[in-house]
Structure 1
Amino acid sequence: MIDLSYDFIVTLQNEVVRTFGADLSTPAMCKELSKSILNKTTKHVSETTLKRVFGFAIAQHSFSRYTLNTLAFYCGFKDWDTFQNHHYPIALRTPQINEEFKRWTEVKTKATAVSQYTLQTLKNRSGINFQHTVPRQHTLHHIERFLESNYAATVFIAPAGWGKSLSLVHATEHFWFGPKAVYQNDVCWFIHAHAAGSLLMKGFSLATWLDNQMNLGKGENFREYFSRHINEKGGRLVLIIDGFDEINLGAEKTKVLYSKLEDFVYSNDAYPWIKVILSIRSSTWSEVFQQSHQYPSFRRFWYLGQEMDDETNINMPLMTEQEVKSILYNNKFDPATVRQFTEAFIQKLRHPYYLQLFCQLNDAPAEGFIDENLSLFEITSKFVQNKVFNSNTNNFKIEIIDKLLELLDYGRNGMYTEKTVLLNKNATLFSSYKELVGDNILVEENLSQEIMFNVKVRFAHNFLLEYFTAMHYYQQANQYISEELIRKILALYPHSSFRISLFKWLLRCALNNDQVSSIQSMFQLELTSTEKAHLLEYMVMHHQRETQQAIPLNVIFPPGFFKKNPISQFINDDFIHFKKRRVLNTLLNLSESSDDKLKIRSNLFVMAFMQLDAEQCELELANIRKLCNADESMQLLWMTPYEAFLFIYEYLKFGVINPVIKEKLYNYVRMWDFNTSKKFSIGEEIVCKAICFAFLILGDYKQLLHFTQRMFQRYPTMLFSKADPFRLMLLCWEAQSHIRVGELKEAKRLSEHIDKVLKQYSTDFLNGKHLDTLQKIIAAEISFYEKDYSRAIRLAESAMEMAHKLDFKMFALLNYNVLNKIYRQLQMEPQKLEAIHKVEMIRKSTTFKQVVPSLVGE
C-alpha cells in the first residue's frame, strides 16, 4: 500500500541529486545514479526503482525500506529514520505560523509535500520538456468557475493523450503552488490515482484518510473539526485526483472505486469548502460515470462545464491555435516556419499527442526544413506504432481494426458502424476495444435514446482510416507494391483525396523498403496527373528529409525515364506556392526535356511575380530566354513565353510598354489555330497564363474577359477538367473581369461555381491556396456591390490573411481595392489607414514600382 504522506520524499530527492552532483533531468540519468549509489554504498538500487522515486515512472506500490535506507545512507545518514529525524525539526521551523491556523498549516504542509511529488512526477513524464508547454486557458477558466460555484466536484473528460495531466499541473501551480498563486491559503492535495486507488481498494476511505492527516484525537472528524472551528480554517481544501482510470483494475473494480469516491463527494454536502477535481478518459466516463449522471443528485454535485459533449463524452476541448504556436515557439521552431503552416495542419496539431510527436520528430527544427505533409505521415505512423503495435494486446486490437475496415468496406461504405455489430458480443475484445477508444484510435458517438441503444463507432481521424486501409492492401499483397495492386486500387476507388492518400502510404512503404520498380510503376501506370503530382512531391520531400538513408532520385528515375514520362504532365498551378520552390528546384535537376524545364521555370517566374520579387523574376527570365532560344518549337508560337514574361517584367519594373509585344498581345486571335482537336502545348499554356497577367496589370478587363472566353472556345475540353487549377484560374479572371465591366450576375455565377469546386475537393486533393484567395477576393467584391457589407468584409479580411500567409503581394494589392471600398462605405477610418500602411510596406519591399498604381488604381 502506498503511503500518501510524501513529507520527506521530495527532500530525499533533493539530497540525492546534491550528492550525485548532476541534475536528473532525464530518465537515462537514473542508470548513472544507480552506478554511483553502488560505488558509494555497495548496495544496488535498480534504474527502474530510481525512475519511480524521481517520478519518471508511476509507483505502483510503496518504496521499500531497503530503497529508502540505501538512499538515505548514500546522502550520509545512517538510515531512513535518521534522515527523517534530521529533517523533521527543519520542516517545523516556521516561526511565521499563526497559532490560530496551526492545524490548518500542518495539513497544508503535508498536502504540499504530496502535491510537489505528484507535480514533479507528471512533469518528468511529459513527452515535451515541461518548460516548453503552456497553461491551457480552458482548464484555468473551468476550475475558476467550479471553485466559485456550489458544486462539490468537477471532472475533466477526454481521451488519452489529450493533455489532461499537464493541464492540471499548470492549473495547480497557477492556483496553489506557483510564486504568484491565486489561492495561497487553500490546502491543495494533488495525487495520482495509483496512490489513491491502492488505498481505496483496501477499504480505506478518503474521509478517514483526511482525518488521519491531522492526528486528531479519537473520534475527532476532520470536516467537523474545521466546521466547528471556522476561524482556524485558512480557505478551501481541494483534492485533485489525476488519471482516475489509469489503474488496471477491471471494470467492476473501477465501479467500486468510483462508488467510494462518490460517497466522499456526496458526504461533503454540508462542507462546501471541500472540493474534488478529477481527470478521466471518455471511455471510463461512458462505462462508469455516465450511469450516475441521470440522477438529479449527480448533476447537483458534479460540475461538467460548458463544453460537455454528451455524444463523444468530452468536456475538454483541444488546444487553441495560439497555444499550439506558443509551444512550437518554445521548442525553438522558427516563427516564420510556423506562420507558413496551413490551417488544416495546425488543426491537427491541436491534439496534444500529435503535437508531442511532431516536436519529437523535429527535435532540431532550426537545422532543417519541415514539411507538414510529410510530418503528418510520420506522426500517424508513430502514433499507430505506439498505441497499437507496441501494445500487449496488439493482436486483439488489430482484429477489431480489421473488422471495422471490413464493415466500412475499406473506406467505401461511409465512416460509421454499429458498436454491437463490431464487437458481436465477443467478450475477449472488450478490454482491447476500450483501449482503442481510450487512446483515441476509435471514437464512440452515443446516439442512444430511451427506447433504443445506438452507439456508432468510427476512426478518430480520417487519416487513420486511410492508413489502415492502405496497410490492409499492402499486407494482402505480401508487402510488395506490384502493378496488380496499383491497378486494383485504381479499379476499387474513384479519383479522390482518399485514393491519393492510399497511394501516398503505399509510396512511403516502397521508399522505406527500396522497392524501386514499384515506385516507377506508379508514374508509368494510369494514375491521374494530379495523383502523380502529389506522389512526386511527397517523394522529393521524403528524399530531402532522409538524405542519408533515401534511395537516390537518379536511381529511381534513371536517364531517359522522364523523356517517356514528362514531368510537365503533372506539374500544374498547384506548384505555385512558396513551399514548392525546393521541390521545383529538385525536379529541375531531374528534368530532361526543354518542355519540362520550361514548365518548371515558368512556375518559378509566376511564383516570384506574385510575390513581387523583381530580382528573382529577372533571374528566371534569363533562364526562360535561354530555353526559348534553344527550342525551335517555341519560335512557331505567335508569342514565346519569354516575350510574354518580358512584357510583364518591363512594364512593372520600368513602366515601359514594349510596342512589338503589345501588338502580339492584342492580336492573339489572328495567330490562333481554332482546330479544337489540337492539343494544348506547354508553350501555349505558359503564354496564355502570362497574357492573363498582362491584361490584369494593364487594367484592361474588357480584353481579359474576351481572352478568357475565347480560351474556352479554343480548348473546349478544359470545361470538363473540373478540378484543373489552370481552368479554375481562367474562371477566376473571367469572373473578375465580369465585375469590372458591370456584369455582376455572371460574375456571381462563376464565383459560386469556383467556390463549390474548391469545397468539393479538399486541400489534400487541390492544395493551390492561391485559388482560394482569389475566389474570396472576387466573392467579397460581389458582396460589396450587393450591399452585403458584413459578408464582404469577412471574405476580404480572410483573403488578406491568406495572401499575407502565402506571401502573394499581388493578391494583397488586388484585395486592397475591395477593402478600400468597404472601409470607405462603412467609414472605418482606422482600418482604412492600416490597409494604406500595408500597401505602403509592399511598395517599399519591391522594385516593381508600377505594380501599386496598376493594381490599386492610384
Structure 2
Amino acid sequence: MEHISTLSELKNLILHKAQIPAITPGDCKSISREISKNLNKSVSETTLKRLFGFACMQHHFSSYTLTALSEYAGKTFVGCNGLDGSAGVENLPFSWRNIHEAATRHTELAIKCIKNRSEIPFEHTVNRNFAEKDFVEFFSSDCSFMSFISPPGLGRTLIMGRLAKKILQEKLSITSRSTLLFLSVRNIVDEFGICESFEDQLKSQLGIAKKDSLIKYANEHYEATGGKLIVFIDGLVELALKQDKITALFDTIINFIVKIGQQKSIKLVMSMRSNTWTNFKSCMLKQHGLEQKWFKGAHYNENEISNVPLLTEDEIDQVLSGLGLAALADLQPKLRTQLSFPFYMQPYIEMLSDNSEYGHIESSVAVSLTPFFMYNKVYSSSYSTEKIYFIKRLVELTGSGPTVHPVLKENLISGLEMFKNAYKELLCDGILMEEKGNEQQLYKRVVRFVHPHFFEYFNSVSL
C-alpha cells in the first residue's frame, strides 16, 4: 500500500506546501496545525514525525491519515489509500537524460537543505582540500565505495555538500560527463526504517521502473560517454532505528556494493560517524574480499576511526576572512588550536557577537571556548542533570593516569539505565563515543570522551 517512491513524493509535496526547505522535528507541530486549520482534520505532530523519520514506526499509516496528508499536499493519489506507487513510470520511454535530470533535482535539493542547516553561512564555509583529493583519487580507482568517517562535529555533511556543489557546477573536470545523485538516507527507507533493496530505492528516486536495471543503464552510459553515476548518501546518524534495522539497512547497502564491485560505472560515497562506521565495517567484513573495494582515504586512522583531518591553518583563515574576523596569526596559540576543530567555530562566532571587547581578551576567549560549547551541549540542554551523572562517572572510571583508556559501557551505565535518553544525546552531540572493546574485552562495548581535551576539561571542573 505504502510504496517508498510515493511516500517520498507525498513528503516533498507537503514540504513544498508548507514552504519548508529542510524539515526539522519542530516543523511537524506547525504542519499539524496547518492541516487542522485548513482541512479541519487531525494529523498529530507525532504522526508527522514518524512520516519524516524523526520517530520510529510500529504500524502502517491509516487511510484517514494518508487521505488528509494527500489533501493538504494538493494531490490525489491512485487507489483508495492513495499510495500504490504504480502510476505512470512503467510505460514511459526512458533515457539517461531522464536519470540525469532526476538526479540533479535531488542533488540540488540536498545542497539547499545543507545550506539552510549550516550554522555558519554556507558561502563562508570552505572546500576541504583533502576531500577533493580523496574523491578524485577514489573516482579514478577500482574501488567501489568510500565514506567520510569521523566523530561528530568535524563537518562531514558540509564536506559532502561543498563537494557536491563543485561536481554539479562541473568544476571538477574528471566528473564532467558524470551524474551525481545526492540523497539523505531518509529517501531510501520507509516509515519503519526498512529498505529491502538499495538499488530499487535508488531506481525509485530516479524514476526508473522496478523491472529495469540501474546498473545496466549506468554501464550503457559509461560505455557511450565515459561518465559515471556518483551516489552520495548522508544522514545515517539521523535515523531513529533499532539495531536490527540498522544492520538490515547496512546489509542491503553492502549487497549493492557487491553488485557494483566489478563495474566501473557506479561510485558510492557515504558519510558516517566513527561508531556507525565500526558497525558498518563489521557487516562489510562478512563479504569476502569486499574490503579491497573500500577506498580508505589518505588520512584514515584506524585508532581514531576517522579519515577527516582537522582544519588546516589556511582553511581556518579562509573562514575567518570570509566572516570579517581576525586572521589566525593574530590569535592566541590555544585559540588557534581550538579552531582547528570545526565544532568550535560556531561558539567562537557567537562569543564575538556577545562580547564587543573581544579584541583585547583573546587569551581568555581561548580558555572559554570549551566551557561555552559544553554549556550549550550539556549544562543548558535537556536531561542536563542526568548527563552530568554520566560524565562524572566516566571521569571517575577513566582515572587520572598519563594514558586515558575507555571504560566498559556496562560499568558506566550500571544503575543509570533509566537515563538512556541522556546517554543517547551525549553520543549524538559528540561528547561521548561508544565503540567495540579490544581483544581482552571481546564482544563488549566501551565508552570514552570523543576528544581527549573533553576529558581534560571535565576532569578539571567540579561536577
TM-score, with structure 2 as normaliser: 0.75
**SS of equivalent residue, structure 1 residue 157:** strand
2:150 corresponds in structure 1 to 158
1:496 corresponds in structure 2 to none
Which residue of 437, 441, 466 maps to 2:431? 441
Name the amino acid aligned to 1:306: A
Alignment of 1:464 onto 2:454? yes
Q: Within 5 A, what are the aligned runs for 1:303-382?
A: 303-335=295-327, 338-363=328-353, 369=359, 371-382=361-372
**SS of equivalent residue, structure 1 residue 255:** helix
Deviations 1:687-711 (A, max 9, x none): xxxxxxxxxxxxxxxxxxxxxxxxx
1:302 corresponds in structure 2 to 294
Which residue of 384, 405, 423 maps to 2:411? 423
What's the CA shift for 1:205? 1.0
Change (3 A) 1:465 1:226: closer
Please give the alpha-carbon distance, in whole angstroms, between the structure 2 residues aligned to 1:187 and 1:318: 30
Alignment of 1:413 onto 2:397? no
Which structure has the higher relative contact order (CA within 8 Å, separation 6+)? 2
1:178 corresponds in structure 2 to 169
1:167 corresponds in structure 2 to 159
Contact 1:188 1:238 in 2 (8 A): yes
What's the CA shift for 1:468? 2.4
Please give the alpha-carbon distance, in whole angstroms, between the structure 1 residues aligned to 2:357 and 2:430: 32
Change (3 A) 1:391 1:294: farther
Please give the alpha-carbon distance, in whole angstroms, between the structure 1 residues aligned to 2:409 and 2:38: 60
Please give the alpha-carbon distance, in whole angstroms, between the structure 2 residues aligned to 1:284 and 1:437: 11
Please give the alpha-carbon distance, in whole angstroms, between the structure 2 residues aligned to 1:240 and 1:284: 17
What's the CA shift for 1:226? 4.5
Change (3 A) 1:446 1:210: closer
Alignment of 1:261 onto 2:244? no
Name the amino acid aligned to 1:349: L
Please give the alpha-carbon distance, in whole angstroms, between the structure 1 residues aligned to 2:212 and 2:422: 46
Name the amino acid aligned to 2:393: K
2:133 corresponds in structure 1 to 141
Please give the alpha-carbon distance, in whole angstroms, between the structure 2 residues aligned to 1:413 and 1:374: 28
TM-score, with structure 1 as normaliser: 0.43
Which residue of 269, 287, 290 maps to 1:277? 269
Q: Within 5 A, what are the aligned runs for 1:1-80?
A: 3=5, 70=72, 79-80=74-75
Which residue of 183, 188, 212 maps to 1:191? 183
1:400 corresponds in structure 2 to 390
Name the amino acid aligned to 1:185: R
What's the CA shift for 1:421? 7.6
Contact 1:310 1:446 in 2 (8 A): no
Contact 2:394 2:412 in 1 (8 A): no
Deviations 1:637-686 (A, max 9, x none): xxxxxxxxxxxxxxxxxxxxxxxxxxxxxxxxxxxxxxxxxxxxxxxxxx
Change (3 A) 1:253 1:398: farther
Please give the alpha-carbon distance, in whole angstroms, between the structure 2 residues aligned to 1:421 and 1:371: 41
**SS of equivalent residue, structure 1 residue 363:** helix
Please give the alpha-carbon distance, in whole angstroms, between the structure 2 residues aligned to 1:394 and 1:418: 22
**SS of equivalent residue, structure 1 residue 198:** coil
- Count of matched residue positions in the alignment of Structure 1 and Structure 2: 425
Contact 2:407 2:448 in 1 (8 A): no
In structure 1, runs of 5+ residues without a counterpart are 18-22, 72-78, 83-100, 476-858
What's the CA shift for 1:154? 0.6
Please give the alpha-carbon distance, in whole angstroms, between the structure 2 residues aligned to 1:240 and 1:380: 33
Q: Within 5 A, what are the aligned runs for 1:92-241?
A: 103-175=95-167, 177-178=168-169, 180=171, 182=173, 183-198=175-190, 201-212=193-204, 219-227=211-219, 235-241=227-233
Contact 1:191 1:242 in 2 (8 A): yes
Name the amino acid aligned to 1:406: E
**SS of equivalent residue, structure 1 residue 369:** helix
Please give the alpha-carbon distance, in whole angstroms, between the structure 1 residues aligned to 2:177 and 2:275: 36
Quick check: which one's helix share is greater?
Answer: 1
Change (3 A) 1:377 1:347: closer
**SS of equivalent residue, structure 2 residue 188:** helix
Q: Within 5 A, what are the aligned runs for 1:732-743?
A: none
Please give the alpha-carbon distance, in whole angstroms, between the structure 2 residues aligned to 1:15 and 1:249: 28
Residues 232-241 or 165-174, more deviating: 232-241
Contact 1:104 1:233 in 2 (8 A): no
What's the CA shift for 1:363? 3.2
Please give the alpha-carbon distance, in whole angstroms, between the structure 2 residues aligned to 1:462 and 1:222: 45
Name the amino acid aligned to 2:169: G
What's the CA shift for 1:281? 0.6
Please give the alpha-carbon distance, in whole angstroms, between the structure 2 residues aligned to 1:321 and 1:4: 47
Change (3 A) 1:334 1:416: closer
What's the CA shift for 1:353? 0.7
What's the CA shift for 1:326? 1.0
Q: Which has the larger radius of gyration?
A: 1
Deviations 1:489-509 (A, max 9, x none): xxxxxxxxxxxxxxxxxxxxx
Which residue of 375, 380, 384 maps to 2:374? 384
Name the amino acid aligned to 1:319: L
Identity value in percent: 22
Please give the alpha-carbon distance, in whole angstroms, between the structure 1 residues aligned to 2:210 and 2:401: 67
In structure 2, runs of 5+ residues without a counterpart are 78-92
Residues 164-173 or 292-301, more deviating: 292-301
What's the CA shift for 1:136? 1.0
What's the CA shift for 1:142? 1.2
Contact 1:332 1:366 in 2 (8 A): no
Please give the alpha-carbon distance, in whole angstroms, between the structure 2 residues aligned to 1:200 and 1:207: 18
Q: CA RMSD in A?
A: 4.5
What's the CA shift for 1:241? 0.9
Contact 1:240 1:278 in 2 (8 A): yes
Name the amino acid aligned to 1:464: F
What's the CA shift for 1:364? 7.4
Change (3 A) 1:12 1:140: farther
Please give the alpha-carbon distance, in whole angstroms, between the structure 1 residues aligned to 2:357 and 2:303: 44
Please give the alpha-carbon distance, in whole angstroms, between the structure 1 residues aligned to 2:12 and 2:448: 44
Contact 1:404 1:417 in 2 (8 A): no
Contact 1:151 1:301 in 2 (8 A): yes
Name the amino acid aligned to 1:371: I
Residues 163-172 or 453-462, more deviating: 453-462
Name the amino acid aligned to 2:401: N
Deviations 1:534-574 (A, max 9, x none): xxxxxxxxxxxxxxxxxxxxxxxxxxxxxxxxxxxxxxxxx
Name the amino acid aligned to 1:236: K
Contact 1:118 1:191 in 2 (8 A): yes
What's the CA shift for 1:227? 3.4
Change (3 A) 1:139 1:370: farther
What's the CA shift for 1:146? 0.9
Name the amino acid aligned to 2:374: V
Change (3 A) 1:288 1:393: farther
Change (3 A) 1:334 1:251: same
Contact 2:5 2:204 in 1 (8 A): no
Name the amino acid aligned to 1:235: G
**SS of equivalent residue, structure 1 residue 235:** coil
**SS of equivalent residue, structure 2 residue 147:** strand
What's the CA shift for 1:202? 3.0
Contact 1:448 1:455 in 2 (8 A): no
Change (3 A) 1:102 1:221: closer
Contact 2:53 2:239 in 1 (8 A): no
What's the CA shift for 1:263? 0.8
What's the CA shift for 1:157? 0.7
Contact 1:188 1:239 in 2 (8 A): yes
